[in-house]
Chains A and B, each alone.
Chain A
Amino acid sequence: MEENLRKELTQKIVTIRRLGEEVRKAAGIPCIESDMRFIDINCTSSLWHLGEIDYWEYELK
């Protein structure tokens, strides 16, 4: 994958994580937090597959 696409994907995932946190704060609805958690897991997984991150930096902080 081209370097600029990798960077763009990384940026998108940062945005999605921030959005997830905002949704957690605003909604306080367990089922939505569960869904957001799985979006997060899937997004960070794609970064892992590109060698950008390691899971423990994200999941169990």
Chain B
Amino acid sequence: MQIYSKRAAASPYWNEYMETMPREKLDQLHLRRIQRLVKYAYENIPMYRDLYDKANVKPEDIKTLDDFAEKIPTIDKPDVVRYQGDNPPFGGSIVKDSEEYISFYFQTSGTTGAPLKEVGYYRDMMSTGWVFKWWAHGIRPNDIFYVAFPFGTFMAFWCAYFDAIALGAQIITSGGLTTEQRVRQIMELNPTVLLATPTYAMRIAEVAREMGIDPAKSSIKFVTSAGEPGYVLPTIREAAEKAWGAKALDLYGISDLWGSTSWHCPSHLDRLHLTETIAYPLVLDEAGKKVPDGGKGEWVLTNYATIMPLIKYRTHDVVEWHRESCDCGRTWVWLRDGVLGRTDQMVTIKGANVYPTAIQTIIGETGGLTENLEIHIATEEEGDAVTVKVETAPEISVERYEELRKNLVNELRYRIGVNMKVEILPPKSLPRYEVKAKRVFDHRKKK
């Protein structure tokens, strides 16, 4: 028995019709969905009625996608949290009288303020944001997923779990197990796809080696990740591929927006495609104006969710977007090098705008150092200051630390144009993380 027909199984696309739809037709579809969504939200979600009344805009004013970009105000996480706080638990942020339809409850971690409560209908979870990537890279129902994730309160890999069900693959969950137990399970059950954050995938490999097991010789053929700057960056990808002897696939999603994912192009490893069946993208500059194709700005998304849609939601992620078709045949918007930084983590050092991810990339390309690092940002007399703490590879002797430090200081100064402090640390000095690694520590006082 085969789950998929021969024709479907041979398709390089999860949904060729949508993934290769000509841009003009795709934009017409987006416009139709946006117009309906804005009307639906205005009539049923008090938060949007307030917002649009204050902006003096009505649903019928949205006649084009440009109208949507220019007239509809953006919404930010604190706005949604405030509406939820006014009348807990969900306030005016969800469709009125929809409580009976709520199938799932999640919340964000709350590391940048009060957590955002997210609720959705079963349909929202079935949007298959991850499967597009898996299918594009040749993962099929006979693959076995190993989900090395604790299944916490935030959505993250829950979507992936349901997507693996939609694909028809076998799923092994490892919530509650230690890393050593997970290594043993991988060796015993022979999964072919490892699902973990990039940091934790490397941690499992590290523990496996400590147990005398070479992860590169395991059954894993794909490492598929999300949650942090990941495999779209060559150094992080190469480290994972070397450690696991497997293909590393990236995915950038935002938990607040359900499965609004962007994922690794099969033809260009520096590109992530947005799943345009689920969300409509915009990139805006600091003044809120749409950035032309190829430009950089803030990623602002609208998701087509049922109970709690987020319309022109500010992600604070900085991206470079492209709307031209890709060689892989897809017409879906793509981002070069994934997320370039965070608008709220940008550091201004002597007039230069610096994003921590740029620092992370340079460190990854510097020999003798590992992917375990911390970037500390503080305010000093002359403005923002950055201190980078980074671990050496195990084979590096202490005598070489000063040489590595000088090299990295020079490299950062040459490529970013400013001075940063660097501390070289012995292996295993920095904490390890099971979910998202904390790499950036912003000690600046909030204005």
A residues sitting closer than 8 Å to B (CB atoms) are 24-25, 27-34, 37-38, 60-61
- In the complex, chain A residues whose CB is within 8 Å of the CB of B3: 33-34, 37
* CB of A31, distance to nearest CB on chain B (Å): 5
| B1 contacts A60, C-beta separation under 8 Å | yes
Partner of B5, one of A25, A31, A60, A61: A25
Partner of A31, one of B1, B7, B9, B128: B128
| A30 contacts B1, C-beta separation under 8 Å | no
Report, nearest first, the 4 A-B pairs whose CB atoms are least far apart.
Answer: A28-B7, A30-B8, A31-B15, A24-B5
Partner of B131, one of A24, A31, A37, A61: A31
* CB of B13, distance to nearest CB on chain A (Å): 8
- In the complex, chain B residues whose CB is within 8 Å of the CB of A28: 5, 7-8, 11
Q: Count of B residues near A, CB < 8 Å? A: 19
Partner of A29, one of B17, B166, B168: B17
* CB of A47, distance to nearest CB on chain B (Å): 19
Closest residue on chain A to residue B135 by CB atoms: A30
Partner of A34, one of B1, B16, B17, B168: B168
B residues sitting closer than 8 Å to A (CB atoms) are 1, 3-5, 7-9, 11, 13-17, 128, 131, 135, 166-168
| B17 contacts A30, C-beta separation under 8 Å | no
- In the complex, chain B residues whose CB is within 8 Å of the CB of A38: 166
- In the complex, chain A residues whose CB is within 8 Å of the CB of B11: 28-30
* CB of B19, distance to nearest CB on chain A (Å): 10
- In the complex, chain A residues whose CB is within 8 Å of the CB of B9: 30
- The winner among B1, B8, B16 for most chain A CB atoms within 10 A is B8
26 examples of A-B residue contacts, CB within 8 angstroms? A24-B5, A24-B8, A25-B7, A28-B7, A28-B8, A29-B16, A29-B17, A30-B8, A30-B11, A30-B13, A30-B14, A30-B135, A31-B14, A31-B131, A31-B166, A33-B3, A33-B4, A33-B8, A34-B4, A34-B128, A34-B166, A34-B167, A37-B3, A37-B168, A38-B166, A60-B1
- The winner among A32, A33, A34, A61 for most chain B CB atoms within 10 A is A34
In the bound assembly, the distance between CA atoms of A27 and B11 in angstroms comes to: 11
In the bound assembly, the distance between CA atoms of A27 and B205 in angstroms comes to: 41
In the bound assembly, the distance between CA atoms of A11 and B45 in angstroms comes to: 41
Closest residue on chain B to residue A30 by CB atoms: B8
In the bound assembly, the distance between CA atoms of A61 and B8 in angstroms comes to: 19
* CB of A29, distance to nearest CB on chain B (Å): 6
In the bound assembly, the distance between CA atoms of A51 and B17 in angstroms comes to: 39
Partner of B15, one of A24, A29, A37, A60: A29
